[in-house]
Amino acid sequence: MAAWHDWLAQDPDPETRAELSALVAAAEQNDAAAQTDLASRFAGRLQFGTAGLRGELGAGSMRMNRVLVAQAAAGFGNYLLASSARPVVVIGYDGRKNSDVFARDSAELFAGAGLRAILLPRLLPTPVLAFAVRYLGADAGVMVTASHNPPNDNGYKVYLGGADGGAQIVSPADAEIAGFIDAVAEGSIADLPRSSSYEIAGDDVVDAYISATAAVAPAPSSAESMRWVYTAMHGVGWETASAVVEHAGYPQPDVVAEQISPDPAFPTVAFPNPEEPGAMDLAFQAAQAAGAEFIVANDPDADRVAVAVPGPDGWRRLTGNEIGLLLGARAARAAGGSGSLACSLVSSPGLGEIARLHGLDWHETLTGFKWISRAPDLVYGFEEALGYLVNPETVRDKDGISAMVAVLGLAADARAEGRTLADLLAELADEIGHFASAQVSIRVEDLSIIGSTMARLRADPPAAFGDVAVARFDDLLRPAPGQPGGDILRFLLDGGSRVIFRPSGTEPKLKAYLDVRATSAPDAEQRLSALERSVRELIV
């Protein structure tokens, strides 16, 4: 009882106050559903971790709302003040519901606590915020976004400047920040000092990002008549992406008009994620009508990019690994034998083969660009979930707009020789071997199902997947020296295939990552299909 009462007393948002008051009234009338809902909203606190905060909008300590965000901002500000007299923090936000509200609350609280707070001038992609942390020499950055999560989610992503170079936080900083947030949460946010003396960044920040990103791959003459389609997936990517395309010298794309402007309802997609079935259907229709050569899609905060190409059976979205290997080969050719490539351990091992062929180091990391971006001597990094870091000297995070420019450059160069992106993939496979990958993703309502499935696989690991024997089993909760550690199970199979299980870090999903290597594309697809069947039989 006290939990919701204290919450109502400090909540500055009339919408969530009304929502909670109605729920309490129903619960007091013995409405069982309301009682269950109320209990779930105050079952604990939405925990701050290396991904910051992310969750469903609504009233209560287990939801994203102005109270929780104020506690996070004040706690993070106190963390920064513990090591600097007047730290500088820059704040960005996307087009989701309440993103602008959460960003302004944060700016006011940072300023009220004595920090120099700089709010980006309007809703912008996440990569612009990551860039701004370095460009402005800030001590930290905050991005209000839930990226490609469902429409009623929002989140709070944290970056550190200085020695961290504008990368997302990692342990132990996450636990230290969480401690400061918990201390703030013991009081009322109504008592926190606020100030309107925060700054609004000028357009020079955005212009500098546009210039640096366009320089990733200036357009060659062969791009002049290139026809392509772009969708922003109802997110914030288009304004910045269009400016970058113009600055780099590429022709503007045909756009998916229904998805080009920010819309927090995401009305044309079930999930605003280019990986989800159906999310790119409108882009496929637009590309077919335009006679396009390829499609580029950003996710809602434009830190990821998807690419689709025409094929004999219609349009096909390239896998994240296919794009990752194409961009990895591009980076390796430009590296001149110096530097390293990096990917998450669930991404294609084909990147390691590219690194070997070009005399570069290769690093496998835990999932997330907070780890990939910290690989030593990095020239390129990627993860299979459509995340690519192509310009580490500018942005130390995945960046769907700079990756888009790199893809445009590859397409234009291939076009000059009468080739396509699909041709580049085939040629790369001939060079490094035929790698194929797939993902089996199980979405659950009850999160305990994920834990019980992982526990079952740990206790009784399969000796084979179908007809292919397991050569080695790694439980990365207990990693070998030099290996990344986490809640990950890795099965290395005879013949070079592998299966990796891990819970999603941002969604209620259990994911299985499948990789095979073969001597031909048909053989790779046959092996992958058989492996996928065996994995589904095991966990579904």
Question: Among 379, 410, 432, where does a domain finish?
Answer: 432
Measured CA to CA, the distance from residue 497 to residue 106 in angstroms comes to: 47
- The reply to whether 39 falls in a domain is no
Could you tell me if 530 and 427 lie in one domain?
Answer: no
Residue 303: C-alpha distances to residues 240, 318, 382, 527 (Å):
12, 17, 12, 32
Could you tell me if 404 and 269 lie in one domain?
Answer: yes
Give the pLDDT score at 107. 98
Could you tell me if 183 and 299 lie in one domain?
Answer: no
- Could you tell me the sign of the dihedral formed by the alpha carbons of 184, 185, 186, 192, in that order? positive
**Cα atoms found within 13 Å of the Cα of residue 426, Cβ hemisphere only:** 7
Measured CA to CA, the distance from residue 46 to residue 89 in angstroms comes to: 23
Question: Among 167, 201, 235, where does a domain finish?
Answer: 201
Give the pLDDT score at 445. 81
pTM, two decimals, is 0.93
8-state DSSP, 507: S
Could you tell me if 526 and 490 lie in one domain?
Answer: yes
Which segments in the chain show pLDDT lower than 70? 1, 482-483, 506, 540
Find the domain containing 83 and state its range. Answer: 48-201
- The reply to whether 213 falls in a domain is no
Give the pLDDT score at 485. 74
Tokens of 55: 């969750």
Give the pLDDT score at 531. 94
Residue tagged 């490609």 (tokens): 148
* 316 contacts 309 by C-beta, under 8 angstroms: yes
The CATH number given to whatever domain includes residue 400 is 3.40.120.10
Please state the φ and ψ torsions of residue 495, each to the nearest 5 degrees: 90, 0
- The reply to whether 528 falls in a domain is yes
Give the pLDDT score at 482. 67
- The reply to whether 373 falls in a domain is yes
The amino acid at 128:
V
Give the pLDDT score at 305. 98
Measured CA to CA, the distance from residue 512 to residue 460 in angstroms comes to: 17
**What is the set of active-site residues?**
147
How many domains in the chain? 3
Measured CA to CA, the distance from residue 67 to residue 64 in angstroms comes to: 8
Give the pLDDT score at 495. 87
Could you tell me if 497 and 425 lie in one domain?
Answer: no
Could you tell me if 231 and 329 lie in one domain?
Answer: yes
Could you tell me if 79 and 89 lie in one domain?
Answer: yes
Could you tell me if 92 and 195 lie in one domain?
Answer: yes
